[in-house]
């Protein structure tokens, strides 16, 4: 039996099965409310409450995510817990965070046995968790898949995603705009883990965007999303490239190490764009006293959004701002560029590296 933390709130059993569960697999629609203010680094800024925010049927939402060994993952979990705590009609059952695929599978199996109303799942490995997520769906328990996609879309009722390709496009377009048609500019890229599809998508978006203004990636290295990996990769890059005009670093957590390498090398002839949207990077952008001039957001609100959508699913509600009467099948969040001019808008949702 897996350990779980119950966040105190009331609950009810989701009283839908059979036909309703089957329909949930094929129906497409819309949902989600504009989030309320939260400064924890996970939930989104405040707006006036809508009818969907009023207390409704009591629901139990189960949540499982990987271990918080990265600032972004930590913010994901923190945001989910904070969002659930806003509602008196939600009981959150939070499983122990783990990078053990087999343990996460057993957690979902326990959620099924407990007959929770909805499962919000950020899998350590989307493909590995597909089978057990499908089992939950077949048991009449809607699954909200966060960030790392299952190999079968029918394993989830709703999938909440960031936009990795869009991150690369946003970074490349910003660099094109800043370089103003300088087609001989030297642009470098510090990727994350090259074997991951998310890294490949980010790099493809970056390459495609640069091509629109006649630029290419002149120097590229890969790190591993860690401070140490970022510093080592950046040191190698700077040694290989004596002159640069711009750098895109995929990840703000590894960016801590990247910045250390830049400072150690005494280099400042270029500007740098970050990735993900950490608080320390946004504060550096606001201070405007380093090479960091922008970052591209990969929202750490995804699990908080998943909790909000899960509540609407269990209560049979839809997104109040849309005409459609069902929760959408897929929600993909935008990848905006944060600069000195708009940083205050994004700081409330930034995560701690």
pLDDT of residue 273: 98
* Matching fold, domains 3-162+300-333 and 164-297: yes
Contact between residue 217 and residue 188 where contact means Cβ atoms under 8 Å apart: yes
3-state secondary structure of 341: coil
Give every CB contact of residue 128 below 8 A, 6+ residues apart in sequence: 101, 105
Q: pLDDT (tens digit, 9 = 90+) per residue, 187-231? A: 999 999 998 889 999 999 999 999 999 999 999 999 999 999 999
Sheet holding 337-338, edge to edge: 217-222, 187-191, 246-249, 271-276, 292-297, 337-338
For 270, other C-beta atoms within 10 Å of its C-beta total 19
pLDDT tens figures, 2-55 = 445 544 433 333 333 333 333 333 333 333 333 344 444 444 444 445 588 899
Cα 348 to Cα 353: distance, rounded to the nearest angstrom? 14
Q: What is the pLDDT of residue 321?
A: 76
pTM across the whole model:
0.79
Over the chain, what is the mean pLDDT?
88
pLDDT mean over 243-248 = 98
Q: What is the CATH number of domain 164-297?
A: 3.40.50.2300
Under DSSP, the state recorded for 154 is G
Q: Is the pLDDT of residue 242 over 50?
A: yes
Helix (H) or strand (E) holding 237: helix 227-240
In the structure, what pLDDT confidence band is assigned to residue 69 with cuts at 50, 70 and 90? confident
Q: What is the mean pLDDT of residues 249-258?
A: 96
User: What pLDDT is attached to residue 319?
Assistant: 80
Q: Label residue 290 exposed, middle or buried (CB < 10 Å: 0-12, 13-18, 19+).
A: middle
What is the rounded CA–CA span in Å between residue 95 and residue 89? 19
Residue 51: what pLDDT? Answer: 80
114: tokens are 């407990």
Domain boundaries, the chain: 3-162+300-333, 164-297
Tokens of 102: 């087999």
Do 70 and 230 contact (CB within 8 A), yes or no? no
What CATH superfamily is the domain 3-162+300-333? Response regulator (3.40.50.2300)
Q: Which helix (H) or strand (E) holds 259?
A: helix 252-265
Q: Which residues neighbour 87 within 8 Å (Cβ) at sequence distance 6 or greater?
A: 9, 53, 55, 311
Burial state string for 159-181 with b = 16 or more CB within 10 A and e = fewer than 16:
bbbbbbbbbbbbbbbbbbebbee
Of the candidates 113, 145, 140, 114, the one whose C-alpha atom is nearest the C-alpha of residue 129 is 145
What is the C-alpha to C-alpha distance for residues 39 and 349, in angstroms, rounded to an integer? 7
């Amino acid at each position: 039996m897996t350990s779980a933390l119950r966040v105190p709130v009331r609950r009810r059993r989701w009283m839908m099965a059979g036909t309703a569960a089957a329909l949930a697999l094929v129906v497409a629609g819309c949902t989600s409310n504009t989030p309320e203010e939260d400064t924890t680094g996970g939930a989104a800024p405040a707006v006036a409450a809508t009818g969907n925010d009023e207390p409704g049927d009591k629901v139990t939402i189960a949540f499982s995510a990987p271990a918080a060994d990265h600032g972004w993952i930590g913010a994901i979990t923190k945001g989910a817990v904070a969002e659930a705590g806003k509602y008196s009609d939600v009981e959150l059952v939070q499983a122990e965070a783990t990078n053990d695929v087999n343990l996460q599978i057993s957690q979902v199996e326990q959620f099924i046995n407990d007959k929770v109303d909805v499962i919000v799942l950020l899998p350590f490995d989307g493909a590995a968790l597909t089978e057990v997520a499908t089992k939950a769906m077949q048991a009449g328990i809607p699954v909200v898949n966060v960030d790392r996609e299952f190999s079968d879309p029918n394993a989830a009722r709703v999938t909440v995603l960031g936009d990795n390709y869009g991150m690369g496009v946003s970074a490349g377009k910003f660099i094109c705009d800043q370089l103003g048609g300088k087609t001989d500019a030297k642009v470098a890229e510090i990727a994350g883990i090259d074997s991951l599809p998310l890294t490949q998508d980010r790099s493809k978006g970056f390459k495609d965007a640069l091509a629109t203004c006649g630029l290419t990636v002149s120097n590229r290295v890969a790190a591993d999303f860690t401070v140490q990996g970022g510093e080592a990769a950046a040191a190698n890059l700077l040694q290989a490239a004596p002159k640069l005009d711009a750098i895109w670093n995929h990840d703000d957590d590894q960016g801590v190490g990247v910045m250390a390498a830049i400072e150690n090398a005494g280099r400042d002839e270029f500007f740098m764009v970050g990735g993900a949207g950490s608080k320390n990077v946004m504060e550096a952008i606001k201070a405007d006293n380093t090479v960091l001039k922008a970052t591209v957001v990969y929202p750490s609100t995804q699990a908080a959004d998943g909790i909000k959508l899960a509540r609407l699913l269990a209560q049979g509600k839809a997104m109040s701002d849309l005409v459609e009467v069902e929760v959408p099948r897929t929600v993909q969040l935008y990848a905006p560029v944060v600069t000195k001019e708009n940083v205050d808008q994004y700081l409330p949702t930034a995560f701690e590296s």
